[in-house]
Amino acid sequence: MNAMATTEQAPMKASQSKARRSDASTAARRRNRRADVAEGVISTAIAVLVIAFLGLLMWMGFRAMFNSATNKANQTIEQIGN
């Protein structure tokens, strides 16, 4: 009877270790998903900062061009008025 009990216990131990491995691999997959999500958030934040910087540069360029055009128009109007 002991031999039978030993053979019955062996598959249970194997299934228990398989369940532990399954739990470990499930936890690893969850960590990988979280890491992937975090990586996406960081990439999005970097992209937003780059676009914001480009927008700032474009605004500064537009403002400089608009001021220059305004000054030239005012000078031309003054010359015509004299």
The reply to whether 8 falls in a domain is no
Task: Please check the confidence at residue 25 and state whether its pLDDT lies above 80.
Answer: no
The reply to whether 31 falls in a domain is yes
State the residue range of the domain holding 61.
18-81
- Give residue 54's pLDDT band: very low, low, confident or very high (50, 70, 90): very high
The reply to whether 48 falls in a domain is yes
The reply to whether 38 falls in a domain is yes
The reply to whether 2 falls in a domain is no
The reply to whether 46 falls in a domain is yes
For residues 16 and 13, what is the distance between their CA atoms, to the nearest angstrom? 5
Tokens of 79: 């010359």
Cα–Cα distances in Å, from 68 out to 54, 62, 72, 80?
Answer: 21, 10, 6, 19
Q: What confidence score (pLDDT) does residue 14 get?
A: 55
For the chain, how big is the Rg over CA atoms in Å? 35
Q: What confidence score (pLDDT) does residue 36 get?
A: 73
